Chains A and B, each alone.
Chain A
């Protein structure tokens, strides 16, 4: 059902309903973005002396190796998390919908729990789990005699991105499970019954029936996942501070450091606008792969 706003009264009602959200959101999110764009045209170190330099900051940004390395890290994290978070969440949800898993209710309640904890606490707990001397992982490895496997987990630049993704994936599996299970619950059970009669295995059912039917929800989940990981900050800040060197540096952390450590406000603002554009591009790109995370008139 879709009502068409024809009468003046209805139009007024629509306007009044949208007004508070539009006003607050514009004031809090959009006006500062415009502000950031304005700053990005200046050479500004925070004080009253702002020097207009046009698009120079953007020219510099295009050539900034560190920024693009950070962007690449964001991309890697995003890809790992899309497959890790949503992939595992899909497998777990499919398993939870089968008959042979016990304690389903408990698993559901507990799986969502980590996503209620603040990123800072998660980062703190995992720094500890990864700790070389008394971290859980190394303690267990040493206890079972795998001394050689014990290592300084957050110290190897070649594997650091993978390592920081473990807590990230772990924390949000439950979040995406909830979205996926919701979508699954709307599938007509008779479809499965027929498939079962045809002798389809559990894996086949999940891939051939469930997945296509919940494609749209997966699309939304992917968009949430991309949005979250393109702006990821707290976990990285707490666990590695971007290190060793710049091997786990991400864009948001670089904006933070450029602003508050280097005091290059103008350049940091150009970076912020860069992040926004890149994120929009990637979300747009993902829309080509999985349709409809963004809506068009005809989708309604």
Chain B
């Protein structure tokens, strides 16, 4: 019995340590952002001696970070909205209807998850450029939506497959139209997985760097991850200042995460692929 108790204590301990490591890097980046460079060099782990906000003032006054954040927010919200709708439509018919070529279409979408984006950067840029689609406010939405679809369709398809279709049948008997059934009955039923998809895509788009670097050539269209590279000076790194940049760019996302954390996890648990 004592052996069992010790085992339980150890298991709990492992979990506490693991959870601690999950938040520690961000906590460390956060408090380090209040240090001066000299203080940071003396000890990288110690807490700051005083709260020095100068890094924050610097980020907001001498860089265009607020502008980049607006761009990122616009890209993120629009991409996520379009992905949800488009992937929902495709995921729904793939899971509910039997028609020729369905498996082929499903696999065709899944293949998209196997391609490293750097492999497609040049062909994609050439293609967008020829059609005059680079350098617009909507430019980045195109790859974000396209690359976001495969995993979203996969998750939505498997979720809808796992929920019974009685409500839809009842609606059909009542003479409910296809579109109404889709949006008034299935959509709410699928909301947990749609929330999951929204969350995954939200973070993916907010953090995306490579397309944002290549596809727009205008400072007014820059996004946060690209803006963050400015904080690495040419010949020295001011670590606290760079960490301030990281915190500023992550803050909106972190706040969202912890406000909605309960819902996020519930959504994930409810929505993740069922066997």
Q: How far is the CA of A115 from the CA of B203 in the complex (A)?
A: 9
Tell me if A153 counts as interface (CB < 8 A to partner B): no
B23 is contacted by which of A101, A110, A118 (Cβ under 8 Å)?
A110
Q: Which of A121, A139, A179, A181 contacts B45 (CB 8 A)?
A: A139
On whether the beta carbons of A2 and B23 are closer than 8 Å, the reply is no
With contacts A111-B19, A134-B44, A186-B275 known, is A25 near B115, CB below 8 A?
A: no
Does residue B2 face the partner (Cβ distance < 8 Å to A)?
A: no
Chain A's closest residue to B157 (CB) is A295
User: Known: A2-B96, A4-B98, A128-B44. Is A181-B22 also a contact (CB below 8 A)?
Assistant: no
Which single member of B8, B28, B86, B261 contacts A24 (CB below 8 Å)? B86
Tell me if B265 and A1 are in contact (CB < 8 A): no
Q: Does B54 contact A (CB under 8 A)?
A: no
Classify the interface of chain A: helix, strand, loop or mixed. Answer: helix
Interface string of A255-287 (1 = CB under 8 A from B): 110010000010011011001100110010000
A219 → B minimal CB distance (Å):
9
On A, residues with C-beta under 8 Å from B are 1-5, 9-11, 13-14, 17-18, 20-22, 24-25, 27-33, 35-36, 39, 92, 95-96, 100-103, 105-122, 124-126, 128-129, 131, 134-136, 139, 170, 173-174, 178-179, 181-183, 185-186, 213-217, 220-221, 224, 227, 230-231, 233-234, 251-252, 255-256, 259, 265, 268-269, 271-272, 275-276, 279-280, 283, 294-297, 300
Residue in B closest to A31 when the chains form the complex, CB atoms: B127
A129 to B25, CA, bound (A): 9
Residues of B with C-beta under 8 A to A185: 269
A116 touches B253 (CB 8 A): yes
Q: Chain B residues near A9 (CB, 8 Å)?
A: 178
- Complex CA gap A62/B94 in Å reads 38
CA A186 to CA B163, docked complex, whole Å: 12
Q: CA A182 – CA B261 in complex, angstroms?
A: 16
A22 touches B90 (CB 8 A): yes
CB distance from A248 to the nearest CB of B (A): 16
Cβ of B274 under 8 Å from chain A: yes
Q: In the complex, which residues 23-47 of chain B have their Cβ closer than 8 Å to any Cβ of chain A?
A: 23, 25-26, 28-29, 41, 43-45
Measured between C-beta atoms, what is the minimum distance from B109 to chain A in Å? 6
Indicate if B48 sits at the interface (CB-CB under 8 A).
no
Residues of A within 8 A of B171 (CB): none
**What's the nearest-Cβ distance from chain B to residue A250, in Å?**
9
A112 touching B119 in the complex, CB below 8 Å, given contacts A21-B153, A117-B26, A230-B114 = no
Give CA–CA (A170, B17) in the complex, Å. Answer: 12
Chain B residues with CB under 8 Å of chain A are 8, 11-12, 15-16, 18-19, 21-23, 25-26, 28-29, 41, 43-45, 86-87, 89-90, 92-94, 96-99, 102-103, 105-124, 126-127, 142-143, 145-147, 149-151, 153-154, 158, 161, 164-166, 169, 178, 203, 206-207, 209, 225, 228, 246, 250, 253, 257-258, 261-262, 264-265, 268-275
Pick from A17, A35, A114: contact of B22, CB under 8 Å: A114
Chain A residue at minimal CB-CB distance from B4: A100
B8 to chain A, nearest CB (A): 4
Contact B115 A182 (CB under 8 A): no
Minimal Cβ-Cβ distance residue in B for A179:
B272
Q: Are B93 and A14 in contact (CB under 8 A)?
A: yes
The answer to whether A183 and B127 touch across the interface, beta carbons within 8 angstroms, is: no
Q: Which 10 residue pairs of A and B lie closest in terms of their CB atoms, listed nearest first?
A: A28-B146, A272-B119, A35-B123, A118-B207, A216-B275, A231-B116, A182-B272, A21-B90, A252-B116, A32-B123
**Which residues of chain A are near B112, meaning CB under 8 Å?**
25, 29-30
- Given A28-B146, A125-B25, check contact A120 B275 (CB 8 Å): no
B5 CB → nearest A CB, Å: 9
| A residues in contact with B270, CB < 8 Å | 182
Which of B93, B105, B169 is most buried by chain A, counting CB atoms within 10 A of its CB? B93
CB pair B18–A28 under 8 Å, yes or no, is no
Name the A residues within 8 Å of B117 (CB-CB).
231
**Cβ-defined contact, A170 with B21, below 8 A:** yes
Interfacial chain A residues near B90, Cβ < 8 Å: 17-18, 20-22
- A136-B25 Cα distance, complex, nearest whole Å: 10
A35 to B23, CA, bound (A): 42
Q: Tell me if B146 and A27 are in contact (CB < 8 A).
A: yes
Which A residues are CB-close (under 8 A) to B98?
2-5, 300
Contact A29 to B97, CB < 8 A, known contacts A21-B109, A170-B21, A186-B274: no
- The answer to whether B275 touches A215 (Cβ under 8 A) is yes
A21 touching B97 by the CB < 8 A rule? no
- Cα A24 to Cα B53 in complex, Å, equals 45
